[in-house]
Amino acid sequence: MHRSLSARHDRFLLTKPFRISRGVKTEADVVTVSLRAGEHEGKGEGVPYARYGESVESALEAIEGVRAAIEAGAGREELLALLPAGAARNAVDCALWDLEARQAGKSVAELIGAPEPEALASALTIVIDTPMMMGAAARRVAGAPLIKVKVDGHLPDAQIRAVRSAAPDAKLIVDPNESWDARLVEAMQPLLAELKVDLLEQPVSAEIDECLERFKPLVPIAADESIHTTAELDVVARRYQVVNIKLDKAGGLTEALKLARATRERGLGLMTGCMVSSSLSIAAALHVARMSDFADLDGPIWLAKDRPGGVEDRNGVLYPPVKGFWGTP
């Protein structure tokens, strides 16, 4: 059956600025793919990320480059060879999963052979601000099970202390987004242990993370920017204790599931993350989050208006989209 593929740029305004070490975001720019075959339509979303040399324009161009192959019937495994890992491949891959599920009259979970996604703890993010403002933000979500603290190299100790004081019972992830150096990572270890931080995410740049190879942290360190696909896992396993999988890095659910299984086989911890996105990105990521020790899927919570029927956050517990939103017939 002939397929018809379309791709477009969608923009979602945020309710407030999302501030991390490398900049501030006030809107989410995504690429939405629609794949039609007869009466069925599959959808997918990718979030191009400048850190990885991506833009909305480059993603749309990449998708246009595989249009003929996808419309002629190329599947998810063929797509792995047609496009490199990234937001463009993610959007097409997830549209293929969604279309396949609808054509088969089955859910994506059934196609995977896994349980349906259920409500799970997902980190609520405290963005970079003064320690006082970060403490105030943490106080508002203190009852959440998991909080992520964005920091940089300026006053991270005071910022983390402020959040921990305001939310004494929550699990904490500290995320410098590559802004620390090796000396600061080492210097911060006693404080991270004292404040019972559960995870330190990508403290140093992926380009210099060899310094972690001989380092014995007091708090587990997760690879984010340092790992995209299974191709980097050998090196990452020598430097990190946890792998953060994002579908936009892996280039879709197909590769993300492979990476999740390989990560578990190596005895490493597993985290599922996201970009600032709509629920269309998160619906697919829930199938990896189900396998994970940590989930950080609060992207849609930052949107002024999400796609109808998407995920719902209730004080740090994330509930799946309504039936039929994505991956269910």
Beta bridge partners of 139: none
What is the model's pLDDT at position 158?
98
Residue type, 190: P
> Residue 147: CA atoms inside 13 Å, Cβ hemisphere, count?
29
Give the span between the Cα atoms of 222 and 235, in whole angstroms: 13
Q: Residue 207 is encoded by which pair of tokens?
A: 């380009």
- Mean pLDDT confidence for 309-324: 97
Give the span between the Cα atoms of 138 and 189, in whole angstroms: 22
Q: Residue 117 is encoded by which pair of tokens?
A: 């996604």
Residue-wise pLDDT tens digits, 179-203: 999 999 999 999 999 999 999 999 9
Q: Which residues does the annotation mark as catalytic?
A: 150, 246
CA-nearest of 222, 181, 171 to 201 is: 222
Give the span between the Cα atoms of 83 and 71, in whole angstroms: 15
Q: Band of the pLDDT at 13, cuts 50, 70, 90?
A: very high
Give the span between the Cα atoms of 248 and 96, in whole angstroms: 15
Q: Domains of the chain (ranges plus CATH)?
A: 4-105 (3.30.390.10), 120-319 (3.20.20.120)
Q: Residue 18 is encoded by which pair of tokens?
A: 């999302």
Residue-wise pLDDT tens digits, 218-243: 999 999 999 999 999 999 999 999 99
- CA 133 and chain centroid, separation: 25
